[in-house]
Structure 1
């Protein structure tokens, strides 16, 4: 919940592009500690919300089923919306570059609310800003792009220079391969809520998922973030199923 959402040009004037090294130093300290504990055993991915998804929260001020206030802001004050999106984009680029400087092995742009937009509006208010992030980060690290509900953009995403694309559980492996051109690495797409299923069932579904995507050019993962109340043993069943695949 944000006490002072951005709803006008006047509100926009108080938005600053911060010095990420100073204002977000605790994030980089956490990365340093995590990298030390991992000791290069597994790669560490650095995440950031997409500019559109961040705008949704900045304008709406809270979570929403349809982010109507965010969309109203974009459609009635497009110039202000683009100014805000650019500020978020510039900050996100600096934020992710500093994560790379602290040793993350890849970065992922997480567009949780991209599917709220039509394909045309997605191009204007989300994708062109994600493309800026990809262009800025790809000389420095591998970039993964994930758009929830954005199956319609997979073809453009595949041409962006990103190293991999995330897919949510509403898009089948077959469609994801077809829409993305079949050459780029895909990541996903297990429904996070399915981790409430019994561990034995989870293992069967994970095996089926990998069979459908194929083990090449595929990163087994959830189709969105893990839910906080998932039993640990169920999450472990997912991980074990991936590790045991093909044995």
Structure 2
């Protein structure tokens, strides 16, 4: 498949492009009225994720509204533990919850890599999306990181303190390493299968890496992410498959992450992009980093912040890459009209920084 717009992929590999490409984490979701309509029609979030036709439909919805430079597969980071038999459900106004959390020695010893046939709905969705995209833009596949998946698997749901898994980390690290090892092998197989199905880039969401201490992050998160990057099939049909690493709250570890084997680092809004470039020595592309809450402000403030972020990154040449994104997922209350203004401004204003 020949891509009509490959600026996103070229930027990940730090190649020249005419403007800064843009996509948004959670760009398909509750802020779009057409998404809410489909979500109501299918009855539950899990019904939506596991139905390739509907998942394809909502993956494409933001591309029908906005001239974005990439699509991201509509799925969830918790599909792997669900396939392991943990029983994933999403409760209204509560979020994900597992019926069978993995937080005792017996359940951890039994934990195994899932049968990838139980995740065929994900791969079928990828094939459907690529057929519909017809080369318009690249499609991003993704997974949660071993540590982030473990947080949900052990806690059984979202948490504020992550007391159960941190207790395990400090009292029974052997059990935690067992979970992380199984998760790592599962993610390697899962991402390689996504690549085989047709995604053109991979993103690893280490959403909860930022809750760890400095040493714990390197041992229980980054070391496992490195193993994944080393085992990803980086080429398909003669094309390189770039990898993005995103740790919310991970700005302090940019130097370590930049040498992990990824091609780009996603950063949140807590660091200036010039500083991120300096820390990484331009050895990777940088993705980010608008605070999603900016989009709840005025048109003027959105445009001003977009320009500030582009200015902060500076010139983009043959050795540097910038992909504009939010520092976390799109808020459900985002006015969808402002998103179009933001995308157009990024494409227009950033041209002065590309050579």
Task: Establish whether TM, by shorter chain, passes 0.5.
Answer: yes
How far the C-alpha of 1:215 sits from its partner, in A, is 5.2
Contact residue 138 and residue 162 of structure 1 kept, 8 A: no
CA deviation profile, 1:72-104 (whole Å, cap 9, x unmatched): 112111111001001011111111101111111
Residue in structure 2 matched with residue 97 of structure 1 by the alignment: 192
Instruction: Report whether the alignment pairs 1:131 with 2:226.
Output: yes
Residue in structure 2 matched with residue 228 of structure 1 by the alignment: 332
**Gap runs ≥5 in structure 1:** none
Contact residue 138 and residue 161 of structure 1 kept, 8 A: no
CA deviation profile, 1:171-217 (whole Å, cap 9, x unmatched): 11122112212332100011112111123321221121111112521
CA deviation profile, 1:124-162 (whole Å, cap 9, x unmatched): 110011001111126332111111111122111111221
Q: 2:290 aligns with which of 190, 198, 213?
A: 190
Contact residue 144 and residue 206 of structure 2 kept, 8 A: yes
Instruction: Report whether the alignment pairs 1:8 with 2:104.
Output: yes
How far the C-alpha of 1:246 sits from its partner, in A, is 4.2
Contact residue 200 and residue 237 of structure 1 kept, 8 A: no
Query: What is the CA–CA distance in structure 2 between the aligned matches of 1:134 and 1:63, rounded to whole Å?
Result: 26
Once the two structures are overlaid, the 10-residue window that deviates more, 226-235 or 160-169, is 226-235
How far the C-alpha of 1:221 sits from its partner, in A, is 0.6
Query: What is the CA–CA distance in structure 2 between the aligned matches of 1:180 and 1:66, rounded to whole Å?
Result: 30
Per the normalisation by structure 2, the TM-score is: 0.67
Instruction: Report whether the alignment pairs 1:33 with 2:128.
Output: yes
Q: 1:208 aligns with which of 293, 296, 308?
A: 308
Residue in structure 2 matched with residue 107 of structure 1 by the alignment: 202
Q: 2:277 aligns with which of 164, 177, 184?
A: 177
Residue in structure 1 matched with residue 49 of structure 2 by the alignment: none
Q: 2:243 aligns with which of 143, 149, 174?
A: 143
Query: What is the alpha-carbon root mean square deviation over aligned residues?
Result: 1.5
Contact residue 267 and residue 288 of structure 2 kept, 8 A: yes
Count of residues paired in the alignment: 246
Residue in structure 1 matched with residue 344 of structure 2 by the alignment: 240
Contact residue 310 and residue 350 of structure 2 kept, 8 A: no
Per the normalisation by structure 1, the TM-score is: 0.94
Query: What is the CA–CA distance in structure 2 between the aligned matches of 1:204 and 1:34, rounded to whole Å?
Result: 34
